[in-house]
Amino acid sequence: MSITDQSKIRNFCIVAHIDHGKSTLADRIIEQTGLLTSREMQAQILDNMDLERERGITIKAQTVRIVYQAKDGNEYIFNLIDTPGHVDFNYEVSRSLAACDGAILVVDAAQGIEAQTLANVYLALDHDLDVFPVINKIDLPSAEPERVKNEIEDVIGIEAQDAPLISAKNGIGIEDVLEAIVEKIPAPGGSPDNPLQALIFDSVYDSYKGVIVFCRIKEGRVKKGTKIKMMATGAAAEVVEVGYFGAGQFIPCDELTAGMVGYLTASIKNVKDTAVGDTVTDVNNPCAEPLPGYKKVNSMVYCGMYPADGAKYPDLRDALEKLKLNDASLNYEPETSIALGFGFRCGFLGLLHLEIIQERLEREYNLDLVTTAPGVIYRVYKTNGEMIELTNPSNLPDPSEIDYMEEPVVSAEIMVTTEFIGPIMQLCQERRGRYTSTEYIEASRALLKYDLPLNEIIYDFFDALKSRSRGYASFDYELKGYEQSKLVKLDILINHDEVDALSFIVHADSAYERGRRMCEKLKDEIPRHLFEIPIQAAVGGKIIARETVKAMRKDVLAKCYGGDITRKKKLLEKQKEGKKRMRQVGNVEIPQSAFMSVLKLDDN
């Protein structure tokens, strides 16, 4: 590719609420710009992890460069940066947005604005992006494009009357979108003659090339041989290759200059060195300051992950190592549980991130995992003035050494139709929410704002929210900070033995209720043994709830089928196999499902 005219570049992303058609629109744009034939298109080009396609969400940012022949006779370069679509990945979203100059806001013509629509639009506006809306799914019988246009103008305050009316699914109105991109999204600024200043918005590990850094060149130029430095991590390397993003492939080029979006490789072995949000500069001609907005991403949710088969521990370690190469936000360190043996305490951005890692470990690495209840990071202030960040409940110091504890709190926004305000407010109260405000978006919809302890929303809050609003509520949050709280460690004793993997931290007021439900749940999960098994919940050595698994009364095979001993033995073998898959605590066999079942205690 020859030197590109900066005024003919458009760097943009698409923002939307989940399911409003972001990925489908991305596919159509790629398709209609002619770089790909329909045959080459997989169902959704940009979501290329199986998991993403199955869940219909984008986990990692994907980027593609396409060429568009506009009606004005000029050829434009579009860099479409597809951003992750979940609150867990908000920081990644913000860095992807920072790599863009404008955004297309996709709004579902039937559903209108949702919580994530707002969150994402505000995020885009915060990054000074020029946002223009498109109304999608106009072919749905329930589509109300006029109402939605008005809603966009009223609520977000951006011009929407000339918004393209499209159906991404059926390819209606895509041409209008492409023209709008040319008209409404500004060309990138910056000068190739300034010192290099490039924003890292993603990176992937490739076993041949090492880390491939996705970046937006804000100022200057970079090419093979440039000695670069990451300003935050301090890592330095010599560029081996630069290029841009073809459809599903990396296409090398000679140079990347200001305004361009592309990749570089520099024999970097670890994604840790190429943190998202960091600034790349030229060692020999450094820029004065890094780009704003970099922050170190911290894990918000922790849980223990153990191989179901203890012998698979090295496999789990290797798998985590490999995933970590591609996912700087995944943390893990080895830990040992009396009940579960050797495993890892893993840190995640949120519950979705946790679930994704868990599924990838199980599917791509064929591991059978036992996961303990996810928890947040608590700050424990000890009487000796020391503060520890607690990620594993088992490590809670003795109560006598604890001065006080703090837990993370988030600011949450819940978009809900007015008829469900009552149940949702009740849910937030139950989860120790602190009411901030209600804003009416329109007569029938409101935005509820609450401060909620993070540990109250990581388990099943989203499910509860959906079920209590018949699926109508949507939800977004960001970390607000730490607040002092009355927290206790809830222990579970099975047949009088404490099961470390079942302990968790809970607010003192909910301890009894949680303990009771845990015991009930475990009672159903633990099979009857030859003896009676008490299941107890305890706080600080005091029993607060108890259930009993009665002794097995009958387990006998009366009949023998004409000397068919083999059949009989198969039954016994099945019984023995079943036992093998369980975890032994004392002389009680606990099925692995018991460790997971306690994660879902809200059965409303």
Partner 1 sequence: MRNLSIYIHIPFCVRKCFYCDFLSGPACDGEMESYVNLLLREIEKQSIFYGDHRVVSIFLGGGTPSLLPAWETGRILERVREDFALAENAEITIECNPGTVTAEKLENYITYGINRLSIGLQSTDDGELARIGRIHDYASFLETYRLAREAGFRNINIDLMAGLPGQSLASYRKTLERVAALSPEHISAYSLILEEETPLYVNRESYTFPNEEEDREMYELTGRYLGEAGFQRYEISNYAREGWECRHNKVYWRRGDYVGFGLGASSMVQNVRWKNPEEHAAYAACVEKMEADALKRMADITETETDRAARMEKSSLQGMDFAEMLRQTDRREVQELTLQEQMEEFMFLGLRLTEGVDLQEFQRYFGKTAEEIYGKQISSFTEQGLLEQEGRRLRLTPRGVDVSNAVFAAFLF
User: Whole-number minimum distance, CB 569 to partner 1, in Å?
Assistant: 7
Q: How far apart are CA 271 and CA 311, in angstroms?
A: 29
Which residue lies nearer to partner 1 by CB, 195 or 586? Answer: 586
CB of 527 to partner 1, least distance (A): 10
Tell me which DSSP letter residue 88 carries. Answer: G
For residue 348, give the DSSP letter.
E
518, two tokens = 């845990």
Nearer to partner 1, 443 or 558 (CB): 558
Query: In angstroms, what is the minimal distance from the CB of 580 to partner 1?
Result: 11
- What is the phi-psi region of residue 385: left when phi exceeds 0, alpha when psi lies from -120 to 50, beta otherwise? left
**Residue 581 CB, nearest approach to partner 1 (Å):** 14
- Kindly state the smallest distance separating residue 519's Cβ from partner 1, in Å: 22
* Residue the block writes with tokens 């290099």: 196
Least separation in angstroms between residue 548's CB and partner 1 is 16
Least distance in angstroms from the C-beta of 333 to partner 1: 37
* Shorter beta-carbon distance to partner 1: residue 72 or 577: 577
Give 504-531 as a 3 state SS string: EEEEHHHHHHHHHHHHHHHHHHCCCCCC
d(CA 546, CA 556): 29
CB of 591 to partner 1, least distance (A): 16
Query: Closer to partner 1 at the Cβ: 508 or 560?
Result: 560
Tokens encoding 384 = 């000796």
Nearer to partner 1, 67 or 571 (CB): 571
Strand pairing report for 9-16 and 75-82: parallel
What are the beta bridge partners of residue 371?
Answer: 305
Distance set, CA 391 to CA 347, 372, 425 (Å):
8, 12, 29
Outline where DSSP puts E strands in 299-395: 301-307, 331-337, 341-348, 369-371, 375-376, 378-382, 387-390
Q: Measured from the CB of residue 559, what is the shortest distance to partner 1 in angstroms?
A: 5
Which of 178, 125, 202, 169 is closest to 10 using CA atoms?
178
Nearer to partner 1, 295 or 567 (CB): 567
Q: How far is the CB of 537 from partner 1 (least distance, A)?
A: 27
Number of Cβ within 10 Å of residue 466's Cβ equals 14
Residue whose CB is less far from partner 1, 189 or 578: 578
For residue 235 the two structure tokens come to: 């890592």
Contacts of 176 (CB under 8 A, 6+ apart): 164, 166
Spatial separation of the C-alpha atoms in residues 106 and 103, rounded to whole Å: 9
CB nearer partner 1, residue 28 or residue 583: 583
Q: 351-364 and 313-326 helices cross at what angle (nearest 10)?
A: 120
Looking at the Cβ atoms of 404 and 531, the one nearer to partner 1 is 531
Of the two residues 384 and 566, which places its CB atom closer to partner 1 in the complex? Answer: 566
**Please, what is the minimum distance in Å from the beta carbon of residue 567 to partner 1?**
8
Least Cβ distance, residue 521 to partner 1 (angstroms): 22
Q: What are the two backbone dihedrals, phi and then psi, of residue 446, each rounded to the nearest 5 degrees?
A: -135, 155
**What minimum distance in Å lies between the beta carbon of 587 and partner 1?**
9
The encoded tokens of residue 404 equal 């006080």
Rg (CA), the chain: 27
Nearer residue to partner 1 within complex by CB, 486 or 570? 570
Question: Smaller CB distance to partner 1: residue 183 or 573?
Answer: 573
Alpha-carbon torsion, ordered 524, 506, 85, 122, to 10 deg:
150
User: In this complex, which beta carbon is closest to partner 1, that of residue 50 or of residue 564?
Assistant: 564
Residue 239 CA to residue 227 CA, distance in Å, equals 6
Measured CA to CA, the distance from residue 219 to residue 223 in angstroms comes to 13
Q: Which residues bind partner 1 (CB under 8 A)?
A: 530-531, 552-566, 568-569, 571-573, 575-576, 579
Comparing C-alpha atoms, which of 527, 498, 510, 509 is closest to residue 594? 527
Half-sphere exposure of 268 (CA within 13 A, CB side): 30
